[in-house]
Chains A and B, each alone.
Chain A
Amino acid sequence: MINLLRVFGKSPFEPLVEHSRKVHECVKLVRPITDAILAGDMARLAELQHLMSKTEHEADQLKDQIRKDLPPRYFLPVDREDIARFLAQMDRIADDAQDFAIVSTFRKLDLPKDMHADFLAFVDKVVQVSETLLSLGERLAQLQKESFVGPDAEEVLARIQQVAQMEWESDKLSRKLARHYYGDPTMEPVQIMLLDKLCRALNGIANHAENVGKNLRLMITRK
């Protein structure tokens, strides 16, 4: 009678939560990297970039494992495509965080003092978006136990709206900062290019986080 056990496959939801945590670990490194950029500490940046690559690689391994454990004959409570997209978007968040770390090591950025506050505000908002997303992603395993309905599912759906709202706020901060540095006649063009690349990576994190939220909504509301 051991065949009753054979009916149950490996749950992908706990590993998805683990992967979400790993990705947020990458995003959390953005803030110390920003501090090192503003301090002009290239040695520290190299060190942090190394740490980032390591964390991103670990996230990649988790992602590959989840994909491997999801053979086509498995029957899942959510759309297989939704899981794949959720993973792919999560993966892009980690990629963009890694981009941010790598770009920061290319060249020393001399950010004018009056832009420091705006840049930090933008960075903090992006990290906050990812944090909010993680707090939702972490509940995926519990939601599965509750069969994707009930007060908890309602709450997660409401908070997904929050992620989108925060992404929009981070967009505003990003535009404000861009206007600032593109309009600054004292900044060297190379410096502007470097700063622009950094901002693009940050924007990417926020955008992909919003997409993960949308994906989560699809998973929950699937009938």
Chain B
Amino acid sequence: MDPVTLLLIIAIVGGFYMAWNIGANDVANAFATSVGSGAVTIRLAILLAAVCEFAGAFLVGEPVAKTISSEIVTPAVFETRAMDFGIGMVGALLAASVWLNIATFLGQPVSTTHAIIGAVIGFAVVACGPTCIRWGEMVRIGASWVVSPIVGGLLAYIIYRFGVRRYVLESRHPVFMAIASVPLGLGALVGIVVFSITYKGLPGLRLNFPLHWAAPLSILAGLAVGAALWIGLRKKMWRHGIPRDQRYEFVERWFGHMQVATACYMSFAHGANDCANAIGPLGAAITTLRTQAVPHEVGISPLLLAFGGVGIVVGLATYGYKVIRTIGRQITEVTPTRGFSAEFGTATSVLVFSKLGMPISTTFVIVGAVIGVGLARGFAALDLGVIRKIFTSWVVTIPIAAVLSAVFFLALRSLTL
């Protein structure tokens, strides 16, 4: 077998393994609470998560994938030795996969995003020195790691404090308000998702509308879904046979239905952002190795996006369901009103940063959103020590992934050239 084919196989296996990992571990974030509260069965959760993750990866996954494959390191620097770039990306995939496995074995929570970014930096520094890294871009990415949880937290705070708490829980007619808020929440969700798909979307599917088309289109879609639901639910709204002492349970049950939609929203956003961790380097490696030349711009083909989506779905189906079940059983604190707020905030933040092409850690954003709901008096007790742990794992992961990636790069290069 010639070395290039071998490298391609390693790249595809590594990329698939990364996608598998993302599906196995992170999808639980979105659906665990819904499964735990009994709003959906585990089977339905897997199905919904699979569809939404795939849709997110396929339809909105491109900007982040582009960032990882060609924005952090300038491919043009490798003009004279294109193979180094391809081999490096393969090494980065391997390094990130290996480190994720070691960290999981040690019981440390690490982010696939941090692992892959660290790995890309690592091989590039060894291959052509620190100057070939776009440090300005790295600063932007680093800043997005800090800003995205804050945005998620702020959104979750506003939704819980000024939406759920003020207009539903504090209301004299919480049941009525809970039912009435469903069309509003769902309409907003559909509008945002449609906008994320249509505004500068995939050119291959002709989804790259300009702003003056995408914005009215998404507003219309949101309004249509909201109005249709409102008309459908209106009959139910006037039935008020809920005993006083069961009102709170009723509100939580209704939000439980709505939370299924926000869980789908979160899966969609997660697919859009995290799929790139697998297919970004893979895309760069495949293009370079096949053409033996450094691409001016790495094209992320729909086929590649679909490949990442499939990897995530396989991870979900083979291992992720176990994680969903375990976490769902243990998170009893997150009632549907809180889950709805935190998930809406998280998904919106993740989706916005995905469209901006920023590879962020969805887990950080979730923690930020949970703290946001906590600030609005949503949770009984939050352990803020977790912030320190997360920060440590972030600070540790990047250099380790970088060193591993450098080692793999040198090893692969000496083997194949």
Contacts and interface: CB of A to CB of B under 8 A. Distances in A.
Interface in A99-115: none
A150 B380 contact: no
A13 interface: yes
Nearest to A10: B381
B383 A73 contact: yes
A148 B171 CA distance: 12
A176 B293 CA distance: 101
B327, B367, B376, B384 — which one has the most chain A CB atoms within 10 A of its CB?
B384
A11 interface: yes
B101 to A, nearest CB: 15
A151 B381 contact: no
Interface string B369-385: 01100111111111111
Contact of B382 (A74, A78, A152): A74
Contacts of A147: 160, 165, 169, 337, 376-378
Interface stretch (A1-9, A41-49, A119-127): A1-9
Contacts of A9: 380-383
B381 A149 contact: no
B330 interface: yes
Given A1-B25, A1-B28, A9-B382, A150 B390 contact: no
Interface string A12-33: 1100000000000000000000
Given A75-B374, A151-B172, A3 B381 contact: no
A76 interface: yes
B169 A75 contact: no
A148 B170 CA distance: 9
A8 B25 contact: no
Given A2-B109, A77-B378, A149 B165 contact: yes
B84 interface: no
B29 interface: yes
A7 B380 contact: no
B374 A77 contact: yes
Interface string B216-260: 000000000000000000000000000010011000000000000
B386 interface: yes
Contact of A6 (B170, B375, B376, B389): B389
Interface residues of B, number: 45
Interface string A185-211: 000000000000000000000000000
Nearest to A70: B381
Contact of A73 (B26, B171, B385): B385
Contacts of A64: none
A75 B384 contact: yes
Nearest to A142: B248
Nearest to B337: A147
Given A4-B363, A4-B367, A150 B382 contact: no
A144 B169 CA distance: 12
A5 B380 contact: no
Interface residues of A, number: 29
Given A1-B26, A6-B386, A149 B169 contact: yes
Contacts of B327: 1-2, 4-5
Interface string A131-171: 00000000000101111111110000000000000000000
A135 to B, nearest CB: 14
B333 interface: yes
Given A3-B390, A152-B248, A77 B379 contact: yes
Contacts of A142: 248
Contacts of B299: none
B126 interface: no
Interface in B322-365: 323, 327, 330-331, 333, 335, 337, 363
The 10 A-B residue pairs whose C-beta atoms are closest, nearest first, are A11-B380, A9-B381, A3-B109, A77-B377, A9-B383, A149-B170, A75-B382, A1-B25, A150-B169, A6-B386
20 contacts: A1-B28, A3-B363, A4-B366, A5-B327, A7-B367, A7-B382, A8-B331, A11-B381, A73-B384, A74-B382, A74-B383, A75-B374, A75-B383, A77-B374, A78-B377, A147-B378, A149-B165, A149-B169, A150-B170, A150-B171
Interface of A: 1-13, 73-78, 142, 144-152
Given A8-B383, A75-B379, A149-B169, 8 more contacts: A5-B331, A7-B371, A12-B380, A13-B380, A75-B381, A75-B384, A77-B379, A150-B169
Interface of B: 25-26, 28-29, 32, 107, 109, 160, 165-166, 169-172, 174, 244, 247-248, 323, 327, 330-331, 333, 335, 337, 363, 366-367, 370-371, 374-386, 389-390
